[in-house]
Amino acid sequence: MDNALSIIRYKEGSREARMNDRAAAFESYVSAFLSRLDGVELTLEFVTFYRYQLLSYLKAKPVFILSLPEGDMISDLIKDSYESFLSALESSPFNITGEGKRNLLESVRIAFPWQNDTDEEEDIL
C-alpha cells in the first residue's frame, strides 16, 4: 500500500474511533500502520502478533485514538519486539518450532512507553 493510501486508512481509523466504532477503527489502524512498516515480512505469524499487540495497546489507553507518530512508534516497537523474540529463539539451545513457538509468541507482553511502571511508584521519596 502506498503512503497516501495508508494516510487515508489512518484518517478513517481516527474518524471511526471518534465515533466509538472500535472494531472498524482497529481494522483501519492495522491496515494503515502495517503498510507503513519497513523491512518486515508480513507473514501470518507476524500479522497475528502485530494485531494482538496493537489491540492490547489500544485497549489499555484511556482513548482508542492514535496519532500518526504514535502509531508509527508503537508499530516499530511491536516489530522490534517480534524481531527480538525471533533472535532469542534462534540463539536458544532448544529446538522450538510449531505450536511451542506460537505459545511462546502469545506470551510476549510489550511494556509500552506510556504505561505506568508499578515499581516507580514505590521509589517516591
DSSP letters of 87-102? HHHHH-SS---HHHHH
Q: What residue numbers bound the domain in which 105 lies?
A: 3-113
pLDDT in tens, 59-81: 999 899 999 999 999 999 999 99
Q: What pTM, to 2 d.p., does this model score?
A: 0.81
> Is residue 118 assigned to a domain?
no
Residue 104 lies in a domain: yes
Q: What is the rounded distance in angstroms from the CA atom of residue 111 to the CA atom of residue 27?
A: 22
Dihedral Cα 65, 69, 75, 80, nearest 10 deg = -140
Is residue 121 assigned to a domain? no
Number of domains in the chain: 1
Question: Which burial class, exposed, middle or buried, applies to 119 when counting CB atoms under 10 A from its CB (0-12, 13-18, 19+)?
Answer: exposed
- At 78-125, the pLDDT tens digits run 999 999 888 877 776 676 666 666 666 776 788 777 655 444 444 444
d(CA 106, CA 26): 19
| Residue 12 maps to a domain | yes
Q: Contact at 8 Å (CB) between 45 and 77?
A: no
